[in-house]
Every structure is written in C-alpha cells, then in structure tokens.
C-alpha cells in the first residue's frame, strides 16, 4: 500500500482539553491500541516494524523534518510474522530503537487524528491528512492548518522529528 499524507506532530500541553475538543468533533474513537515500533537503521527516510494489538506492519516513510505541515510518502506491508521479520532486519541493517505508545485513533473526513501517550516522552497529537489522488500538498496543508486551529495547536507546540529521534536525544 502506498500513501501520501500531510502530517504534523505536536506535544500536548493540556491533553484533556485537546481530547475533549477532538471528541466533540469525532465522538467515537475508531481504535485504541498499544503499539510497539521497532525502528531500523536506514540511509534515507525511516523504517519501522509496528506491532499492535491486532496486526503488524513494516512501514517505510520519507518526510522532511519540519515544523510545518508537510508531505510524507509512505509504503506499508502487513505481516503475519513480525518476530521473524524483526530478526532478519535487525541482523541485516541494524536496530535504532523502540518506541512504545498507547494510541487512540479518531477519523475526521480524510484525516486520521492520533492521540498518543508515548513511553518516556509524554502526550502528543498527530494529524495525518490522507491525500486523495486529485489533491495537492497545499490542499492537505490547508486541512491540517484548519484542524490545528480547531484543536488550539500552536506552532510552538509542533515537533519536527519522529518519536524515535526524541527518544535518542533523551537517552
């Protein structure tokens, strides 16, 4: 599966307030799950094996580190053998680290809204505007900016890197 998203990630100062705003817009979460992402060493982009309650997937994504909503190109392959895949990748290209989180997923139109409680880092929100084939990056950025306003997310709250990068800085 190949996707193009416009994404932002923000550190939440007031998780309960943002959660209330999200639930007013999207009363029912689509899914709540524990996720463990094992990141692998790559020369470009990021590669992770996501293991969650009901499925596992190898996910490659390339997104410039930016505080602005920006495009992420994603390739996903689902697997029924995450342990074997993790072993092969760890031995062949090396393991960067592991991110563990509780994630609550909401959907609003074409946007996936994640409320994440990341072990060792705190609480965050991610917005992923899944672009349709007839949309440009600018269209997705406009949607992301509109939702940031609705949820009182300020530019100063935005994070320009992945959770694994933040974990590496704190280690």
Which residue matches tokens 């790559």? 42
Of 165, 168, 162, 163, nearest to 72 by C-alpha is 162
DSSP state letter for 66: -
More confidently predicted of 69 and 54: 69
Which residue matches tokens 């689509």? 30
The whole-number average pLDDT for the span 28-32 is 84
Q: Highest mean pLDDT: which of 24-38, 39-53, 62-76?
A: 39-53
Of 129, 117, 104, 128, nearest to 29 by C-alpha is 104
- Provide the pLDDT for residue 139: 95
Measured distance CA(10)–CA(159) in Å, rounded = 5
Residue 171 pLDDT level (bands cut at 50, 70, 90):
low
The whole-number average pLDDT for the span 1-16 is 92
Of 98, 102, 117, nearest to 168 by C-alpha is 98
Measured distance CA(73)–CA(55) in Å, rounded = 21
- Predicted confidence (pLDDT) at residue 129 exceeds the cutoff of 90: yes
Calculate ∠ Cα 28-59-126, nearest 5°: 40
Domain range annotation of the chain: 2-170
Measured distance CA(68)–CA(65) in Å, rounded = 9
DSSP state letter for 42: -
CATH code for the part of the protein at 2-170: 2.40.320.10
- Provide the pLDDT for residue 58: 97
- Provide the pLDDT for residue 88: 97
Mean of per-residue pLDDT scores for the chain: 94
Which residue matches tokens 């998780």? 15
Q: Highest mean pLDDT: which of 2-6, 27-31, 53-57, 92-96?
A: 92-96
Phi-psi region of 152 (alpha: psi -120 to 50; beta: other; left: phi over 0): left
Query: How far are the Cα atoms of 62, 81, 83, 145 from residue 108, in angstroms, in the given order?
Result: 24, 32, 33, 14
- Predicted confidence (pLDDT) at residue 3 exceeds the cutoff of 80: yes
Measured distance CA(113)–CA(126) in Å, rounded = 6
Global pTM reads: 0.91
pLDDT digits (tens, 9 = 90+) for 84-117: 999 999 999 999 999 999 999 999 999 999 999 9
Please count the CA atoms within 13 angstroms of the CA of 169 that sit on its side-chain side.
7
């Amino acid at each position: 599966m190949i996707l193009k998203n416009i994404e932002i990630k923000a550190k939440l100062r007031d998780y309960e307030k943002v959660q209330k705003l999200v639930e007013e817009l999207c009363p029912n979460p689509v899914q709540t799950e524990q996720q463990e992402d094992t990141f692998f060493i790559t020369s470009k982009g990021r590669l992770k094996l996501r293991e969650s309650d009901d499925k596992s997937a190898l996910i490659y994504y390339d997104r410039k580190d930016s505080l602005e909503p920006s495009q992420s190109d994603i390739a996903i392959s689902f697997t029924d053998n995450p342990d074997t895949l993790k072993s092969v990748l760890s031995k062949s290209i090396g393991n960067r680290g592991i991110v563990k989180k509780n994630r609550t997923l909401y959907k609003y139109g074409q946007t996936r809204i994640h409320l994440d409680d990341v072990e060792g880092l705190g609480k965050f929100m991610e917005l992923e505007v899944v672009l349709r084939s007839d949309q440009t990056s600018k269209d997705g950025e406009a949607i992301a900016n509109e939702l940031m306003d609705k949820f009182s997310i300020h530019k100063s709250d935005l994070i320009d890197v992945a959770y694994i990068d933040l974990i590496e800085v704190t280690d």
